[in-house]
Structures are given as structure tokens and as C-alpha cells.
Structure 1
Amino acid sequence: MSIKLVPKEDSLFPKEYSEMKIGDLLNLDGVDVVKKGDKIKLKRTTGQDILTLEYNKFQEGEAESVTLTKVKKGRKKKDLTELAKKMYKDGKTQAEIADYIDATQPYVSKLLKS
């Protein structure tokens, strides 16, 4: 793929990653790649953050989306609860939230109930 991401000035995603081509991201050490249907997810855990790039293609290429997510490691339960609830409200499943925050789906379920 030759998609290049162009970050906004106030982007939370690290500039050194957001300016790379997806092919370059795939070649980084420690990048987990999951392909499911028309969705590709790249996930990398650094010392402080969990970085996720998700590429979706919809309806035979009529629309595409790229989502960049950066979650700080070592966040307090209160912060994770707020984040999980916001992500759930935005349409993410419990399994997707768990993947983003590096937790289990049952733990996310507990967060959403609190």
C-alpha cells in the first residue's frame, strides 16, 4: 500500500509514525499486524504508549477510513473507565476497546459497568 498519513498539527499520534507509509510501518520491529476482511490493524507497544493504526475499506472501495489511536500505558482505572465509555459510545466493541487499551474484554466490560 502506498498510503501516507498526513498528521494535523495537534495530532496525538507521534509524528515519526504518522508520516510513514504503511509499508514502512509493517517493517518496524514489534508491530503486530491483523488483517480481517477489508480491515488491516497495525499495533505497536512502546515504553509509554500503545499505538494503533486501523485501515478500513468499505463497499468495494467506495469509501476508506484510517484511524490512529494512541493510549498511554499505566493509566489509572478512572481514566481507563472514561476512555472505555467514550470509545463504546463512539461505536467500538468491547473487544476493540480491550485491544486498544491492552486489556481483556471482561475487564473492559467491568469498566463499562462502573
Structure 2
Amino acid sequence: MAFERVHCLYPYTPIVFKIDNGSNKDYLAFAIEFENGDGDLAAVDLIVSKNNQVLPMKRLFGATFATGFTPDTSVGPYSVRLTSVESRNTVVATNVLPAAWKPGQIYRSTVNF
């Protein structure tokens, strides 16, 4: 049996971020869905919009990423930068996570690869 990677096609569908139910003020994790292109993410960075502080995120599993350090909610909203593995293309979902993000919520961006 052979497997072949296929590119994901979600025309007219923006990337969404589903905040993990276990997220809290000290831990933020989210699943990333509907990314077009090769489907693998090389890097995900959380960016504090007010001061451009970049917090690299770690892959937990699949398309779920986490950071052990969540910035003070008074400095939100937050942007998320995504870099694809194959093409190395980068997109930024600007201000996609509000300062008062909540576990279990889904936040829709306006971007895709």
C-alpha cells in the first residue's frame, strides 16, 4: 500500500483557530483548520499585536499548537503567523485572537495560503 500526500483545497474558506478546552491564562493551545496548500505547517508564531512580541508555538499533535507562556491579556489582541513546510509561504492572521479569548471558542481569520 502506498500513500501520497495531497494538497488541501479550501477555496474561499479562511483559516480558523479552535481554542483548546484546556487553555487558561498560563497555557494557550489551538487547532488550526482549513489551511490550503501542502497542509503541513513548519512554524506557528503567536504575535502580540500591541508590541509585536513573537512567541514561537510548539506542535502538540496534528495541527494543534501550544505555547506555555501566554502574554498578559491586557496587551491583546493576538495575531498568528503560519509558515508552510513545502512552499515556505507565510500568512499572518492579523488580530485573529481577541485579548479576552476563551477556551472552546472558534476564531475565524480572513486569510489562507
Say which structure is richer in helix. Answer: 1
Larger radius of gyration: 1
Quick one: higher RCO (CA 8 Å, sep 6+), 1 or 2?
A: 2
Same fold by TM (over 0.5)?
no
Normalising to structure 1: TM-score of the pair? 0.29
